[in-house]
Amino acid sequence: MFNPQLTPEGHLKHLLTIEGLPPAILFQILDRATEFEAVARQEVKKVPHLQGKSIFNLFFEASTRTRTTFEIAAKRLSADVINLNVNSSSQSKGETLLDTVDNLSAMQADMFVVRHAESGAAHLIASHVGPDIHVINAGDGRHAHPTQALLDMYTIRHFKKRFENLRVAIVGDVLHSRVARSQIHALTTLQVPEVRVIGPKTLIPRNVERLGVRVYHDMVQGLKGVDVVIMLRLQNERMNGALLPSRDEYFKYYGLTPAKLAHARSDAIVMHPGPMNRGVEIHSDVADGVQSVILKQVTFGIAVRMAVMSLLAAPMPHSAA
């Protein structure tokens, strides 16, 4: 079956979504990221893999953390990086998305990192650009955020070593979360035997069980015996209508506190894609506690994004270090 993300030989051409990617590609990215993690410990934190390449960060939606980690990753690969805040430039003057891409392609762009409020924007760009240009989806609407899911998988493997014996719980606003969708596809692709989603009925998609997850509406029941707890940000900007009575009520039932976390395994790790709403999704004692690996996720995100970009634009280097 044709996959627009892959070349005819099965190599990664674009990264648009986790859905449909074979496990071998995910493991290839995770293994390459392990090599690149060592670069951060070098005195000179650069390798020449993408020297001479031009990478355009096209962010139609604000995101300091994602854009910054992509920029750091590209610069550590020795690429030339151009950041565009598109909302304040050509788009506000009436230029279409594809017009913007065409103009930047004419400037010899090699790769576009795209974040957009509309689902499918990165797919549209990937289907439009020339054969030598690569596209990475840095988050599109409520659809997908593949590099966030990959850095989460990297974090899980780093601390838990293997995927085959884990119980993972994803907690919160699954309905509006592109991160949750990508995480579910990644976890099931990597053969995690039990993936749970926990949240109020108003924030859990209908028929989400079809994706291979178990649904819990009681957080204590859902957290029993899990190895990994992934908290989701409450997606206020993507909500339509009053889906919650109040933030305080949400925290009471679905905020991660030390008492609720005690129902997970004693060595369970706590993750959050950020930015955190303390006192809404997570108690500060948990966010800053010994089981939290949230800051490590940010650190690992640079290595994972280096891995993705290097595999897209320079697939054959022998070693990262």
Q: Which two tokens stand for residue 258?
A: 């030390």
Annotated binding residue at 65? yes
Q: Which two tokens stand for residue 185?
A: 């596809």
How far is the CA of 118 from the CAs of 94, 134, 303, in angstroms? 17, 19, 27
Annotated binding residue at 145? yes
Annotated binding residue at 214? no
Please state the φ and ψ torsions of residue 116, each to the nearest 5 degrees.
-150, 145
List all residues 6 or more positions away from 116 whose beta carbon is below 8 Å from its beta carbon: 58, 60, 61, 97, 122, 139, 140, 141
Annotated binding residue at 265? no
Annotated binding residue at 275? yes
Annotated binding residue at 238? no
Whole-angstrom distance, CA of residue 236 vs CA of residue 244: 10
Annotated binding residue at 296? no
Q: Which residues, listed in sequence order, are joined to residue 230 by a DSSP beta bridge?
A: 170, 271
Is residue 230 within 8 Å of residue 152, measured between CB atoms?
A: yes
Whole-angstrom distance, CA of residue 57 vs CA of residue 83: 5
> Which residue has 């579910």 as its token pair?
184
Annotated binding residue at 233? yes
Whole-angstrom distance, CA of residue 135 vs CA of residue 92: 23
Specify the 3-state DSSP secondary structure of 115.
strand
Annotated binding residue at 93? yes
Q: Which of 20, 5, 69 minimizes the C-alpha distance to 307?
A: 69
Q: How many CB atoms lie within 10 A of CB 188?
A: 16
DSSP assignment of 272-290 equals --S---BTTTB-HHHHTST
List all residues 6 or more positions away from 189 whose beta carbon is below 8 Å from its beta carbon: 18, 21, 22, 23, 26
Hey, which bits of 68-157 come out as E strands?
A: 80-85, 111-116, 134-140
Annotated binding residue at 115? yes
User: Annotated binding site for carbamoyl phosphate: which residue ranges?
Assistant: 65-66, 115, 145, 148, 274-275
Binding residues: 65-66, 93, 115, 145, 148, 178, 233, 274-275
Residues marked as binding for L-aspartate?
A: 93, 178, 233
